[in-house]
């Protein structure tokens, strides 16, 4: 059974597929979907949608955990992130997956033990929890792994 | 040939399909797609996606004009509007439609002649321009018609 975590974004969208079985969760896929900033936004959203569909086709995750979009200093970035998250959530829900959002603080708290953990601490904890040879890069991939791990911890999916 | 205008929203998403041929544009479809506020956001986005696909299937619009999301006082509403607009733009772009965004001020200026026109003025002008028996209700439907008319005016699609 698979859980898919995503850190939504238009330029870089982190994803992590966790394989849930006996023992600790392990990363079956981990990376970043990118779109070209020189393309127009609708086409970038359509590309992101197609890449995300590829993940849903391959792993058929039972649950999709999404890092909740907060309003940031950069309004333009926040809107792109919101649009990307809408596309991802609609696709996952249409497939019948459970879709759950977690706030950045919930994720940091679940993975690193406190809500004000920095990016390096999250990357390091993801490395340890998933028994990876190195901290995942870029941070978007680590954040996606962290939100997937948060869902595993908070939903009791292992029980 | 059809132009589809949308005023994105999660609770109410206005749409207007304009038939472009000889003479003035006429409304081939005009209304509002609604989702249930008691459902969770991912499922609402999936429903909106399916309703929107129905419009794309029926009319195969060459162009889709979208009212650009601005940040509003209500952050929660703005995020829902952003997520909805992302879903619509991705679907339309994936079909190969031209997707163009217009700001609320561009729309008011194009339809009512000045950027600070109020909702009633926009509804009245839409009624006149599309030769409707009454101003379109609710305002979301009128706004969708206005953004479609803006695209017709600004893209020179009639020429």
pLDDT (tens digit, 0 to 9) for every residue of chain B, 159 residues total? 999 999 999 999 999 999 999 889 999 999 999 999 999 999 999 999 999 999 999 999 999 999 998 766 566 678 889 999 999 999 999 999 999 999 999 999 999 988 888 989 999 999 999 999 999 988 999 999 999 999 999 987 665
pTM score of the predicted model: 0.93
Pairing state between β B26-34 and B63-67: unpaired
CA distance A94 to A152: 22
What are the start-end ranges of the H helices in chain B?
A: 41-59, 75-94, 104-112, 119-130, 139-155
B140 given a catalytic annotation: yes
- A121: containing domain: 2-155
Q: Cβ separation of A90 and B87 shorter than 8 Å?
A: yes
pLDDT digits (tens, 9 = 90+) for A57-107: 999 999 999 999 876 656 667 888 999 999 999 999 999 999 999 999 999
Query: So what's the ipTM on this one?
Result: 0.91
B67 given a catalytic annotation: yes
Q: Cβ separation of A41 and B89 shorter than 8 Å?
A: yes
DSSP three-state, residue A54? helix
> Tokens 């002649």 sit at which residue?
B113
Kindly report the CATH number assigned to the domain that includes residue B68.
3.30.420.10
Q: Are A61 and A17 in contact (CB under 8 A)?
A: yes
DSSP three-state, residue A77? helix
CB of A93 within 8 Å of a chain B CB? The answer is: yes
A159 pLDDT exceeds 60?
no
Query: CA of A157: how far to CAs of A22, A37, A150, in Å?
Result: 12, 37, 10
Q: Cβ separation of A48 and B75 shorter than 8 Å?
A: no
A47 given a catalytic annotation: no
**How many residue pairs from chains A and B have C-beta atoms closer than 8 A?**
77
Q: How many domains does chain A have?
A: 1
């Amino acid at each position: 059974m698979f859980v898919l975590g995503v850190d939504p974004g238009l330029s870089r969208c982190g994803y992590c597929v966790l394989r849930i079985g006996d023992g600790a969760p392990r990363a079956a896929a981990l990376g970043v979907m990118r779109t070209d900033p020189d393309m127009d936004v609708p086409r970038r959203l359509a590309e992101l949608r197609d890449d995300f569909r590829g993940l849903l086709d391959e792993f058929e995750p039972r649950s999709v955990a999404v890092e909740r979009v907060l309003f940031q200093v950069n309004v333009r970035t926040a809107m792109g992130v919101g649009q990307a998250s809408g596309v991802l959530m609609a696709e996952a829900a249409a497939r019948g997956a459970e879709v759950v959002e977690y706030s950045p603080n919930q994720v940091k708290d679940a993975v690193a033990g406190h809500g004000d953990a920095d990016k390096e601490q999250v990357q390091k904890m993801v490395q340890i929890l998933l028994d990876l040879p190195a901290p995942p890069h870029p941070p978007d991939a680590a954040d996606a792994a962290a939100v997937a791990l948060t869902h595993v911890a908070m939903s009791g999916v292992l029980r």
